[in-house]
Amino acid sequence: MIRFNIAPYVGKELEYVKQAVESMHICGDGEFTKKCNEWLEKKTGTSKALLTTSCTHALEMAALLCDIKEGDEVIMPSYTFVSTADAFVLRGAIPVFIDVNPKTMNIDETLIEDAITPKTKAIAVVHYAGISPDMDVIMDIAKRHNLMVIEDAAQGIMSTYKGKALGTFGDYGCLSFHETKNYSMGEGGALLIKDPEKVVDAEIFREKGTNRSQYYRGQVDKYRWMNYGSSYLPSELNAAYLYAQLEVADMINDKRLAVWDKYYKELSELRDKGYIELPYVPEYAQHNGHMFYIKTKDLEERTKIIKFLGENDILAVFHYVPLHTAPAGEKFGRFHGEDRYTTSESDRLVRLPLFYSITDEQTDYIIDKVKEFYKR
């Protein structure tokens, strides 16, 4: 069976975990966490990066930092992972879902302004498949309406919009290092913070509401309970594991892009014949090969191709039941405007296996089988 995903493993992970153990510091914010934070700051150009226990938790921190309150509205796409909405719903806010642009499956930025009300506090953008919506347009809307912008860049590390790293446009950017993402620490993520003045607040939320981070830096002489907060810092064991992969980030990225390009090139004949649609990469975007998907004619054909590939030992998957159609989405949120594309386009999308250790033999075989399906 060709699995849908295998978490990357580059070889140095266990050596670094051992070093963390031997350093006698395995709780959070040791040397490896520092190294990861610095790597992220250098790579993305953000003023501050903080490793977190997940992207979900980075989003929760962003909601806390934006001071999202009961009854506030946050505009977001319905086609996304649950965490984008959860973080705000936990604070009592209402997710206001709007339709996607079918070309990228990202929030349709031209529909945002119509969804703004006096209660709107923020826009949560998702960089689907490591490709952003038009961030200039979104940042302009946010500025004119005085809204915060949170980027769910769980899939977006190493990707750029007009040359600038995803996660660095909005007030907060949230990354994921879950095992399904391009770089992994098992479970983990990071928060990117644009405004240096927000860093201390972020550290306090991340350290159970205390100023322990300042205390460790020798900036205060005792650490105390300063605000509400939670525990959002990962252990050094996880950070050490991740750092091994960040060190060779380009190698992993290049491999993923090569697989993506191969799928795109080899499957374009099926697109040219009108059988399938392929992903669209806007001029402004450089992506990271996070995901390769095709769009079938309809739901029925998608079900058939997933079954056909499964019978041939290939695990292909679909995802994201649109949030506004799910029980919690109906309960906590609302859809603004018309669902022209969210449901119908998500029904057609199927993802092919793409991971760091996938072999040429495997991708050749997958491509052959997809072509065979459309011959019949």
Ligand X SMILES: *Cc1c(COP(=O)(O)O)cnc(C)c1O
Q: How far is the CB of 179 from ligand X (least distance, A)?
A: 9
Please state, in angstroms and as integers, the Cα–Cα distance from residue 204 to each residue in 10, 48, 164, 192, 349, following that order.
34, 14, 28, 15, 41
**CB 99 to ligand X: min, Å:** 17
| Cα–Cα nearest to 285, from 182, 178, 163 | 163
Q: Where are the alpha helices (DSSP H) in 66-133?
A: 82-89
Residue 132, token pair as written in the block: 């952003």
Work out whether 78 is an interface residue with ligand X (CB under 6 A): no
Instruction: State which residue, 102 or 189, has the beta carbon closest to ligand X.
Output: 189
Contact map string, positions 169 to 198, toward ligand X, x by CB under 6 A: -------x-x----------x---------
Nearer to ligand X, 148 or 370 (CB): 148
Q: How far apart are CB 219 and ligand X at their closest, in Å?
A: 30
Q: Check: CB of residue 259 under 8 Å from CB of residue 292.
A: yes
Q: Which of residues 144-173 bind ligand X (CB under 6 A)?
A: 152, 154-155
CB 373 within 8 A of CB 309: yes
As measured in angstroms, the least distance from the Cβ of 287 to ligand X is 14
Q: Which is nearer to ligand X, 129 or 267 (CB)?
A: 129
Q: How far is the CB of 81 from ligand X (least distance, A)?
A: 4
Q: Which is nearer to ligand X, 64 or 267 (CB)?
A: 64
CA distances for 250 relative to 107, 146, 316, 327, angstroms: 28, 37, 26, 40
Site string for ligand X, 81-100 (x = CB under 6 A): x-xx----------------
**In sequence order, what DSSP letters do the residues of 6-24 get, joined into one string?**
-----S-HHHHHHHHHHTT
Which residue in the set 33, 46, 80, 101 belongs to the binding site for ligand X (CB under 6 A)? 80
Greatest pairwise CA separation for the chain in angstroms: 73
Q: How far is the CB of 189 from ligand X (least distance, A)?
A: 4
- Within 27-56, which residues bind ligand X (CB under 6 A)? 54-56
Nearest residue (CB) to ligand X, 154 versus 240: 154
Using CB under 6 A, which of 66, 111, 123, 126 touches ligand X? 126
Q: Which residues, including other chains, have CB under 8 Å from residue 62's CB and lie 6 or more apart? A: 87, 150, 171, 172, 174, 191
Stretch of 77-85, 217-225, 234-242, 303-311 lying at the interface with ligand X (CB under 6 A): 77-85
CA–CA distance, 294 with 291 (Å, rounded to integer): 10
Three-state SS letters, 246-271:
HCCHHHHHHHHHHHHHHHHHHHHHHH
CB closer to ligand X, 62 vs 147: 62
Cβ nearer to ligand X, comparing 3 with 217: 3
Question: Is the distance from CB of 75 to CB of 98 less than 8 angstroms?
Answer: yes
What is the smallest separation between the CB atom of 82 and ligand X, expressed in angstroms? 8
Judged by beta carbon, residue 226 or residue 246, the one nearer ligand X is: 246
CB of 87 vs ligand X, minimal distance in Å:
9
- Kindly tell me the burial class for residue 26, based on how many C-beta atoms sit within 10 Å of its own C-beta (0-12, 13-18, 19 or more): middle
Query: Residue 368: which residues within 8 A CB-CB, separation 6 or more?
Result: none
**Least distance from ligand X to the Cβ atom of residue 209, Å:** 21
Q: For ligand X, which is the closer residue by CB, 230 or 362?
A: 230
Nearer to ligand X, 76 or 112 (CB): 76
**Residue pair 98/120 in contact by the 8 Å Cβ criterion:** no
Contacts with ligand X by CB under 6 A: the residue count is 14
Closest CA to 137 of 155, 119, 121, 149: 149
* Stretch of 76-84, 160-168, 275-283, 364-372 lying at the interface with ligand X (CB under 6 A): 76-84
Binding site for ligand X (CB under 6 A): 54-56, 80-81, 83-84, 126, 152, 154-155, 176, 178, 189
